[in-house]
Structure 1
Amino acid sequence: MTSPTPAHARISVIGAGPGGLTCARILQRHGIPVTVYDRDTGPHARDQGGTLDLHADNGQIALREAGLLDAFFRLARPEGQEMRRLDASGALTGHLVPEPDELFKPEIDRGQLRDLLLDSLRPGTVRWGRALEGVGGPDDGPRLLHFTDGATVETDLVIGADGASSRVRPAVSPAVPQYAGVSFLEAWFSDVRVRHPEIAELVGRGSAHAADGERAMFAQRNSGDHIRTYLVQRVPADWIGAGGPAADDTEGIRALLLERYAHWGPRLRRMITDNDGPYVHHPIFALPVPHTWRPSPTVTLLGDAAHLMPPLGVGVNLAMLDAGDLALALAHAADLDGALRAYEKTMLPRSVETARALEGRAEDLLSAEEHDLDHDGSGR
């Protein structure tokens, strides 16, 4: 089959996260039709997670190509770049305070970023409630998208922006994410200035990180007077559920955490005793390094689908940079195959280099050693 021109191709993005939506937005700015499919039933069907920082040298570059950088700065929180380092007693051991005009990596809530991107797309671009089961059809196209509801869609290009458990990835790669040995347990705190003033003072306007070598806490200020805290431990992947208390056993999980953090200071232990609602378990997985795949003229990957890494502050930024590079390659190429080769020639070496630098470094979040706060992991 002759590779079609991008402007006349049926392009399907799987996943309405920051990467997939950024790719769709930039494609539309260049007059290229695109459809995004997402398993969520709607844009607000589930919590989108906490805050993230978009860097000037990757995430912000993509937003500039999307024509959304000014809108991002209107929503972003530059003060969220403040970072505090604490010891296990809760004593401050390091403090990075951003300059008043510092905009290198301001924070924005994930939900706010998603809404910004969604609102920039043409109506009907995203098809909600479409959970992909797999990709079929010949490698040279056309491809068939098989959805879990039994529906199929024929398409010329499949862009896998569907994250760690990508259903697109098997079409080009047999790689499977492996457990990194470290698990996050997320806790929420709402109306913190009134209901949790000690925690609000401890975290400040940005984030705070404490560790003792075996366990850690990472707390992030979100918009709307919210804080999210991530309890980081070296535990089996199934320590919640099959290996321990049930996911909905909040009191049982809390009791176990209080044992494990028994020697920590009382202010930090409030992160365990005072959270609003249940805990959310996030075992950390990563793809093998290096992760590359056999070139296909009809399928490619971006973001975590392509290069799932430990959560050390690069994931969303790389996904959005991938999205911008791919969309621009499609906008400037004569055919789909040429666009994918140009994109992967840039993206794969970059992602392999970054993945090698971060391989095995999920354990860094547990380290009690002093280090440069400006390069502290943020659990994203």
Structure 2
Amino acid sequence: MPVGTEDLLRELAPQVLGTLVRRFGDFDTAEDALQEAMLAAAIQWPSEGLPDNPRGWLIQVAQRRMADLVRAEVARRRRETTVYERDVPDSEAVDHDDTLAMFFLCCHPALSSASAIAVTLRAVGGLTTSEIAHAFLLPEATMAQRISRAKKRLSTLDRPFARPGDAEWRERLGSVLHVLYLIFSEGHTTTSGSVLHRADLSTEAIRLTRSIHRLLPEDTEVTGLLALMLLTDARRAARTGAHGELIPLAEQNRALWDRAAITEGVTLTTGTLTHGLTGPYQLQAAIAVLHAGALRAENTDWTRILALYNMFEHMAPNPMVTLNRAVATAMVHGPAAGLELADTLDDQLAGNHRLDAVRGHLHEMAGDIDAAIASYTTAARSTTSTPERDYLTIRAAQLRRSALRR
């Protein structure tokens, strides 16, 4: 399937799914119908040409499949009547973008936070069950069951697309932002596969976050998340070499960073500071501003970054925050201090390659080459990302060669 068709289908999928769920009220069947419509499009569009209205084409094909399924289930005739009573004109269905409504539906209070995030990543973010399981550090079978139960629960809701009141809207916002953050994170650094990043996911996360920012421009966490995404994504072109190999932050050619995205991210972050540093996304954006402002790696203001990580960990305790604080601690107080902090995470991050990768880096800083090689090697064995594995393996090999020359 041509890349352009694949990208278009990924963009249209949540919009079409939202229309089907709003019209028919059956999440599971709507998703099945959407998959059949997308398969038909993948087969027909490359040979027959793109329809004038691709979104409308997908909706019509999926609706026909939905109607077939509804009519075939005699036991659900009461639902069939309800479906057609609340039907809307095709022109409205085609012209109305339900993507954001899908976010708030998937983050319905009827679902637990974990289930809401998982089903949204699947239905709107386009991640596979395997990718979501990696993000949650859970077995794939467990995640598949969680998503299935969540979709069945959503299908039982009365008027699922009714707009929540302002108080409920803001309650759901935290889950929506977390979902967007996870989608962006998976796009920025994929958890598995042969590529370091998936620009389709990170770009879609930025687009959707912009949409929410237009709705809630005064919300500092929405603004902070958008700024964080822009500042992080600005480094994309410098993060990989000619063959897709990983280039760590300290070694990146900063001339390749997207200065327009950095300027926008800095402006957004600065605009939130009149309210103080009050949320985790705002804090992460402030840290990203300090990285973006360093024209060379050695100019990075690690003292201020460490202070922000101290605030971040106090506000939202998390082992990955502590691990990042360990790196900042090492840059300010030396690698021994960073390693001491990293050692406190053995139970919480057991088997996580990032802990061993950080240990490798800090041992290398300390001049303990054998320990660095061992940590890099362990990290390489644990990661499912090919670029990360290759980088860690090569780093260990380079240290071995360096040690042999001495």
Task: Please give the TM-score of this superposition, normalised by the length of structure 2.
Answer: 0.22
Select the structure of larger CA radius of gyration.
Answer: 2
Higher relative strand content: 1
Greater relative contact order structure (CA < 8 Å, 6+ sep): 1
Task: Please give the TM-score of this superposition, normalised by the length of structure 1.
Answer: 0.23
Higher relative helix content: 2
